[in-house]
Amino acid sequence: MRNADPSCIFCRIVAGQIPARKVYEDDDVLAFHDINPWAPVHFLLIPKQHIVSMAHVQADDAPLLGRLLALVPKLAQQEGCRPYPEGGFRLVTNTGADGGQEVQHLHFHVIGGPRPWLKG
């Protein structure tokens, strides 16, 4: 497991140093509400281990990412997204400066709920 980065805000949230409104947590994954939501449902899903971005994902990360992505539909519905196909959600991850990544810790935005949304 990769070490936490003490300067990373998401690592500090995982460590309990910064509060967050948690949606889900297990030994490897944390989901919490976005502090600036774009839509009625907007939370972040992160691996607890510090992976900088999708550009840093390695083959041995596949089981963790598979588990993380498998949680998305369940958590989206739990947080208020209507079921597919009438409802749904958006799943976004930004990678690097050109991709709009602001926090250098791999994270997925789960965004949904009735439209119109603030952004997107």
Do 53 and 45 touch, CB atoms closer than 8 A? Answer: no
Closest CA to 37 of 94, 115, 118, 101: 118
- The whole-angstrom separation of Cα 40 and Cα 23 is 14
Residue 107 bears catalytic tag: yes
Catalytic residue among 42, 50, 107, 109, which?
107
* Catalytic residue list: 107
